[in-house]
Amino acid sequence: MEHRPRKRFGQNFLHDPNIISRIIDAIHPRDDQQLVEIGPGQGALTSFLLDRINHLDVVELDRDLVTLLRKKFSDTEKLTIHSADALKFDFCSLGTQGNKIRLIGNLPYNISTPLIFHLLEQSHCISDMHFMLQKEVVERMAAQPATKAYGRLTIMVQLFCTVEKLFTVPPGAFNPPPKVDSMIVRLIPHESPQYEIKNKTVLQELVNQAFSQRRKTLRNALKRLLTDDQILSLGIDPGARPETISIEGFVNMANLLSTIS
């Protein structure tokens, strides 16, 4: 059964066996762990994972691919296929007996950022995540202050996870080949947030506002939220640009905003 990759689902199917082996080695799956694959596609990674573990859950939106997967793996009871939208899926529901889940996926580029934010909301039940993403997105996740890649995604991901860049994957490893390089990233949720956050929604709003126009100073970007004096009270220069402010600095500004609003 042939399946043509669909652009609207952002489908680029991994086919390089050497890359697949490197990914499996990086994940190092064990029988006593609960693994969940997001967007299994045609089952390239799925087959390798099933050779290593007793059971695998997969979440796939494309119904044609669900049909293909059911036929391809009809001879095994080790696979449970969830025909669902990962952006709305309750991944914590797959945890059993209090065990945390491990997530794996070659994520469609067009939903990767909103999906990461969705998963961060469920990070308390996730042990780790290994994802194939656009290299630029991984660089943004792992960025440091005062760099071009540092921004909203950096702050929200690093607040809740340790980010490890593993290795780059060239376009030729996929069908069809994307126009950019990809990268495997490992995200390990913190047992607790690095900093006390009084109101996560306020933090998200403040960070979004700060980076809505990167060239603006904090004074101009946040003028509807905080005054110069309030920013200065935290030891932060209101004339600085958002990309130069540490994650702790953003948390402190959000916590102050939570107390005065």
Residue 13 sits in the same domain as residue 134: yes
Query: Is 2 a member of any domain?
Result: no
Among 189, 209, 232, give the residue marking a domain's end. Answer: 189
- Look at residue 91 and tell me whether its pLDDT is greater than 90: yes
Query: Is 174 a member of any domain?
Result: yes
Residue 11 pLDDT class (50, 70, 90 cuts): low
pLDDT at 110: 83
Residue 56 sits in the same domain as residue 125: yes
Q: Average pLDDT of the chain?
A: 91
Task: Please state, for a pLDDT cut of 70, what percent of the chain lies above it.
Answer: 95
Domain ranges, residue 225: 200-260
- Look at residue 60 and tell me whether its pLDDT is greater than 80: yes
Among 128, 157, 189, give the residue marking a domain's end. Answer: 189
Residue 27 sits in the same domain as residue 136: yes
pLDDT at 98: 76
8/97: higher pLDDT: 97
CATH (domain of 247): 1.10.8.100
Query: Is 194 a member of any domain?
Result: no
- Going edge to edge, which strands form the sheet with 79-83? 79-83, 56-60, 34-38, 101-106, 126-134, 182-189, 161-169
Query: Is 121 a member of any domain?
Result: yes
Q: For the residues 171-199, what does the mean pLDDT come to?
A: 89
Residue 114 sits in the same domain as residue 205: no
**List of residues 6+ apart from 11 with CB closer than 8 A:** 5, 41, 62, 108
Domain count, the chain: 2
- Look at residue 214 and tell me whether its pLDDT is greater than 50: yes
Residue 34 sits in the same domain as residue 159: yes
